[in-house]
Amino acid sequence: MTNGLVSMTKTRTDRSGVRVVVAGDRGTGKSSLIAAIASDSFPETVLPVLPPTLLPADFFPDYVPLTVIDTSYRLEKQNKLNEELKGADVVVLTYACNDSQSFSRLISYWFRELQKLEVTVPIIVVGCKLDLRDESQQVSLERLLEQLLQEFKNVATCIECSAATLYQVPEVFYFAQKAVLHPVDPLFDHENQALTDQCVRALRRIFVLCDRDMDDALNDAELNDFQVRCFNAPLQSSEIEDVKTVVQQKVPEGINSNGLTFPGFMFIHSMFLRKGHPETLWAVLRDFGYDNDLKLKDEFLPVPAKIAPDQSVELTGEAVEFLNGIFRLLDTDKDRALRPAEVDKLFCTAPKSPWNDAPYSDAAERTDMGYISLNGFLSQWAFMTLLDPQCSLANLIYIGYSGNPAAALRVTRRRSVDRKKQATGRNVFQCYVFGSKNAGKSALLDALLRRPFSNSYTPTTVEKFAANGIDLIGGTRKTLVLREIPESEVLKVLSNQDYLAACDVAVFVYDSSDEYSWKKSRELLEKVAGQGDLTGYRFPCLLIAAKDDLTPYPRAVQDSVKATQELGIEAPIHVSMKLGDSSNVYNKIVSAAEHPHLSIPETEIGKKRKQYHRIVQNSLIFASVGTAIAVVGLAACRAYAVKRNSST
């Protein structure tokens, strides 16, 4: 199979250079090793510590230059040594093959020092002076490998060499470069002796993309296209048959009547890793856009740029249509809901499911069985796009979006412009939810997701989210994202100058039966609105009187109505999530967001700013009028002078 499915003639990397630091005990042959690779000869004399040595780009097949750094073990040079080790891309750690004590010090000293310095880059263990070794006192390379690999996971390889005879000197630096450019750890789990989960997921996506007829196997034409794409070399029919024969012998399920199955595809790439050729698998992965972390490179993710903080990013109609199709494809039992296993299948070609962790794990509507509905599915994607456009676009591509990535997302108009034009074209609205502890904020989020009311109270200590679609009059649908801000976090979030830029509407929830809760919400409203006036990020605000099933505290209704009148916003919306009475609150929130020029509180800061602008405007008007009068007067004087001169 050396000339089979894959070829090592094409490798690719984005690195511009590799920094190799050579370290080890005095007298182990560090400087001689570097001098030998630089001059292709054994030097008669060599400096105790060589200056940095550059190996040019054409030295090895990857065409990436190496900078080799020699080091000193002297105590007065310890700080310099530590600095170099911390800045290394790869460490070549030397011992002398004719000195068993230098080998023992690898474990007793050098690896302990590297751990203290938190050096996690690949390490190449090199036995120098092989020509001087006494075979009766031979240090077993096999024993060395076994011992080091068990205890130190970042050991990439062990090799013996001789600078005097030039034996395996180039190989030392080839393996050093290779360990950086084509790392094995992201691909192979040494403990389980298998491909890593992330590598399997990446290969599955590549397999699916190559399986154009979607029959779960790569036929001869698809195999050949894969080979040409990744290695610029077509496969002969005999080579394809050789590949199939080997796979069928080793992995019977790797071949079926349609061609090479995914288990067979994995076996081939695993085999090249086992044979010490990670560059072959990396050539495939990089061709399909993966970086060293087995994630898509940024250049494959053309996320549209926001030019202002008060813009947001949304899915386009094309992307939403694709997601509708994906949902139908996964919903094999046609119950309009996806089981957890079906969601896992959706993301089996992604590095991991993005919805397993906060804030997405608990932010979408689910059925009583815990399945995600179509509404919840689309809302979850809209929410992820709002919060992390790059993550959303990457996962669209991972799950099979084949359209132009640049056409999947769009940037909305600035909220400040929407406010001036008194209209918005947004499809996703983010609503900040403020209020005191136990005011009913979390209940508001749960009800949006159609979850049953809970009498138990758990204080919210970190931001929580809920996202769902809201049907409006006329058949349109908007996605509403509620973002609950814990009371303890308000000052912290408001200290961020642009925090309010992402807000379309804010609601201030208070327990209508509790005096402190009402006063706290009023205080928060004025504080948030005042910050909006200061930063220029102004938005509609609503008061929500929660727990309407309880007896209101005296003067609650009167005070709240008076406050909304003073602030120039809508009267409080009374809700009781316990009784299931939401008073159509979510539609009212969306309506406020759709009319961004209304329900904006009139704060003292805002009033003073308006008064200032009015004074400035009037001053400009008076100045303009004065200038006009002066111009008219001057013109009249000139006309009179002309008339007088003509009469004389």
SS3 231: helix
DSSP 570: P
Q: Which residue has the tokens 């919400």?
A: 521
Residue 4: pLDDT band by 50, 70, 90 thresholds?
very low
Is the pLDDT at 118 greater than 70? The verdict is: yes
The phi and psi torsions of 99 (rounded to 5 degrees) equal -140, 95
Q: Mean pLDDT, to the nearest integer, of 22-30? A: 95
The phi and psi torsions of 194 (rounded to 5 degrees) equal -155, 165
The mean-pLDDT minimum among 130-144, 373-387, 445-459 falls in 130-144
Is the pLDDT at 15 greater than 90? The verdict is: no
Average pLDDT for the chain = 89
Is 589 within 8 Å of 444 (Cβ atoms)? no
The mean-pLDDT minimum among 143-157, 283-297, 433-447 falls in 143-157
**DSSP-assigned states of every residue in 460-520:** --S-EEEEEEEE-TTS-EEEEEEEE--GGGHHHHHTSTTGGGG-SEEEEEEETT-HHHHHH
Is 175 within 8 Å of 159 (Cβ atoms)? yes
| pLDDT (0 to 100) of residue 8 | 42
Is the pLDDT at 595 greater than 60? The verdict is: yes
Residue 148: pLDDT band by 50, 70, 90 thresholds?
confident
**Cα–chain center distance at 271:** 31
| pLDDT (0 to 100) of residue 321 | 97
Is 359 within 8 Å of 387 (Cβ atoms)? yes
Is the pLDDT at 612 greater than 70? The verdict is: no
| pLDDT (0 to 100) of residue 607 | 59
Q: Which residue has the tokens 């068993």?
A: 100
Tokens of 395: 């996962």
- In whole angstroms, what is the distance from residue 93 CA to residue 97 CA? 13
Q: Mean pLDDT, to the nearest integer, of 576-596? A: 94
Tokens of 154: 């970042």
Is 543 within 8 Å of 433 (Cβ atoms)? no
| pLDDT (0 to 100) of residue 603 | 77
- Alpha helix locations (H) across 275-359? 278-287, 317-330, 340-346
For residue 111, give Cα distances in angstroms to 71, 76, 101, 148, 472.
16, 20, 15, 10, 65
Residue 7: pLDDT band by 50, 70, 90 thresholds?
very low
Tokens of 452: 């049953």
Q: Mean pLDDT, to the nearest integer, of 103-114? A: 91
Q: From the DSSP assignment, how many helices (H) and strands (E) are in the chain?
A: 22, 20
| pLDDT (0 to 100) of residue 479 | 97
Q: What angle do CA 386, 405, 500 make, to 5 degrees?
A: 20
| pLDDT (0 to 100) of residue 620 | 56
- In whole angstroms, what is the distance from residue 127 CA to residue 145 CA? 12
Q: Mean pLDDT, to the nearest integer, of 224-235? A: 93
Tokens of 391: 């993550």
The pTM of the full predicted model, rounded to 2 decimals, is: 0.84
The phi and psi torsions of 641 (rounded to 5 degrees) equal -65, -40
- In whole angstroms, what is the distance from residue 470 CA to residue 592 CA? 13
The mean-pLDDT minimum among 98-112, 362-376, 379-393, 611-625 falls in 611-625
- In whole angstroms, what is the distance from residue 32 CA to residue 172 CA? 13
| pLDDT (0 to 100) of residue 9 | 43
**DSSP-assigned states of every residue in 11-43:** -----S-EEEEEEESTTSSHHHHHHHHHHTS--
Residue 274: pLDDT band by 50, 70, 90 thresholds?
confident
- In whole angstroms, what is the distance from residue 574 CA to residue 592 CA? 16
Using one digit for the tens of pLDDT, what is the confidence trace for 189-211? 877 889 999 999 999 999 999 99
Residue 533: pLDDT band by 50, 70, 90 thresholds?
very high
Using one digit for the tens of pLDDT, what is the confidence trace for 315-338? 999 999 999 999 999 998 888 999
Using one digit for the tens of pLDDT, what is the confidence trace for 59-104? 998 899 999 999 988 777 889 999 999 999 999 999 999 888 888 8
Q: Mean pLDDT, to the nearest integer, of 362-390? A: 95
Name beta bridge partners: 39: none
Is the pLDDT at 487 greater than 80? The verdict is: yes
Is the pLDDT at 627 greater than 60? The verdict is: no
Which H or E element spans position 53?
strand 53-55
Q: Mean pLDDT, to the nearest integer, of 342-360? A: 94
Residue 505: pLDDT band by 50, 70, 90 thresholds?
very high
Q: Mean pLDDT, to the nearest integer, of 206-219? A: 95
| pLDDT (0 to 100) of residue 3 | 40
**Nearest alpha carbon to residue 320 among 238, 388, 392:** 392
Q: What angle do CA 431, 433, 438 make, to 5 degrees?
A: 160
- In whole angstroms, what is the distance from residue 28 CA to residue 97 CA? 8
Is 271 within 8 Å of 243 (Cβ atoms)? no
**Cα–chain center distance at 423:** 32
How many other CB atoms sit within 10 Å of the CB of residue 279?
Answer: 19
Q: Mean pLDDT, to the nearest integer, of 357-363? A: 93
Is the pLDDT at 137 greater than 70? The verdict is: no
Q: Is the dihedral angle over the CA atoms 276, 279, 284, 285 positive or is it negative?
A: positive
Pairing of strands 188-189, 155-160: unpaired
Is the pLDDT at 493 greater than 70? The verdict is: yes
